Structure 1
Amino acid sequence: MLTNPDIPFSRNWPLNLMIFMLAVYWGFTAIAPTDRIQWLMESILPVIVVLILAFTYEVFRFSNASYLLMFIFLCLHTYGAHYTYEGTPFDMWLKASFHTQRSYYDRVVHFAFGLFWTYPFRELLTRAAALRGFWSYIIPVAVCFSCSACFEIIEMGAAFVAGQKGLEYVGLQGDVFDTQKDMGLGLAGAVISMCMLAWVLWRKKVKKRQ
């Protein structure tokens, strides 16, 4: 059920369950967020992603494994949007326990983007563009890295347009290299994702030969 992309939507209960859980979770976090304006800004991209996936479902269906990875990432992002990325309970715990000077949840989500989205990108490229072999691991990493760069550009645009709220949305927290670090973590997550997948597929080939 996690790998077959040809299951009809009505009988695809794992995907239906994920949609239901995400809708309930998103609705719950929409209630009294820490900063309503920042929540709206953070919520635009996930809504766009969900709409794209919904409208293209009949044209291209991802496997449930890909939908699960996207679901996990969207939940992580929604959590940050509710509390603001600088004020999550996770960061409050870090600051209280390890006396950290900045909030690190945004770094976690950037890493998670690379870790969780590279597999769906690879699935899209291998099935729609017939990508094979070595390049089926390298190009998805490049796509994910490009998406990270595009998001940083979007953040820059938001900072120019929205003033102080835009600066809070960017969340540099005094680090002039925050953008580069965020992109680097996304790249690291993507590389780890593809290395793990390559190892799993290699192990399967070895077992078949035996």
Structure 2
Amino acid sequence: MAQAPVDPQFWLIASILPAAFVVLLIATHRFLPLSHTSYALITAFLTLHTIGVHYTYAEVPIGVWMDQVLHLGRNHFDRVVHFSFGFLLAYPMEELFRLSASIRGWVVYYLPVMTVLGLSGLWEIIESWVARAVHPELGVTYLGSQGDVWDAQKDMAAALYGALLSMTLLLVVRALRGAETALESEAAFSE
């Protein structure tokens, strides 16, 4: 998606952290391997982000379409990506905490949610620094606030909701699997 981005300077600035993240994943894959599911979820998120920075978040065609069809008053593709940050990356974080730190119990579901919230807040702070450091037009493009003074808070809330949903679904799936395993064990024992 680097071919003819709408705003090359924005594309370059907005691609630095994701590129560093990919380098980190490559560098750590031997001693901190994640599951194929985690790598697929990370790829899905990075794909959404790449689409957003190619067009600039305020101009992504599917977001424009959503605005026209649903009369949202703005392009909400950035909110979709923030929600996806929490929803898609909470599971790899949970896996990392569970496998590398041997964390168990409710904390293994709590830490990814708090990590998503912290990283989301850090992203918003970095966005504001970049916006102040570059010319005003790019700063507004980079922030993607589209006139919403509460944009940063809403973006963080979207990421939080995504992480909460992800961890809730994971907890339910594991509980159901545990119940199935218990029923299978009970059936095998009674035979």
TM-score by length of 1: 0.84
Alignment partner, residue 155 of structure 1? 127
- Alignment identity in percent? 41
Structure 1 range deviating more: 114-123 or 89-98: 89-98
**Structure 1 gap segments, 5+ residues each:** 1-28
Equivalent residue number for residue 162 of structure 2: 189
Aligned to 2:187: none
1:76 aligns to what? 48
CA contact (8 A) 2:86 2:160 kept: yes
Pairwise CA distance, 1:94:
2.2
Normalised by the length of structure 2, the TM-score is 0.92
- Residues 64-101 of structure 1: CA distance to partner in whole angstroms, max 9, x if unpaired? 11000000000001011111100011122123323332
Q: Which residue of 2 aligns with 1:109?
A: 81
Distance 1:201 1:83, change over 3 A: same
Do structure 1's residue 177 and structure 2's residue 150 form an aligned pair? yes
In 1, the alpha carbon distance for the partners of 2:8 and 2:42 equals: 24
Q: Which residue, 66, 81, 105 being the options, matches 1:94?
A: 66
> How many residue pairs get matched?
182
2:139 aligns with: 166
Return 198-207 or 90-99, whichever deviates more.
90-99
* Greater RCO, CA 8 A, separation 6+: 2
Larger Rg: 2
Deviations 1:159-179 (A, max 9, x none): 111132122101111111111
**SS of aligned partner of 2:102:** coil
| Counterpart secondary structure, 1:58 | coil
Q: Please provide the CA RMSD for this pair.
A: 1.0
1:205 corresponding residue in structure 2: 178
Tell me which amino acid in the other structure corresponds to 2:181: K
Instruction: List structure 1 segments (4+ residues) > 4 angstroms apart after TM superposition.
Output: none
Q: Is the 8 A contact 2:90 2:166 kept in 1?
A: yes
Q: Structure 1: how far apart are the matches of 2:36 and 2:26?
A: 14
Taking the aligned partners of 2:25 and 2:69, their CA distance within structure 1 comes to 40
**Aligned twin of 1:39:** 11
- Deviation (angstroms), 1:58: 1.6
Tell me whether 1:50 sits opposite 2:22 in the alignment. Answer: yes
Query: Displacement, 1:41?
Result: 1.3
Unaligned 5+ segments in structure 2 are: 184-191
Within the candidate set 64, 67, 75, 2:36 is matched to: 64
Residue identity in the other structure for 1:197 = L
**Residue type of the alignment partner of 1:70:** I
Within 2, Cα distance between the matches of 1:78 and 1:40? 11
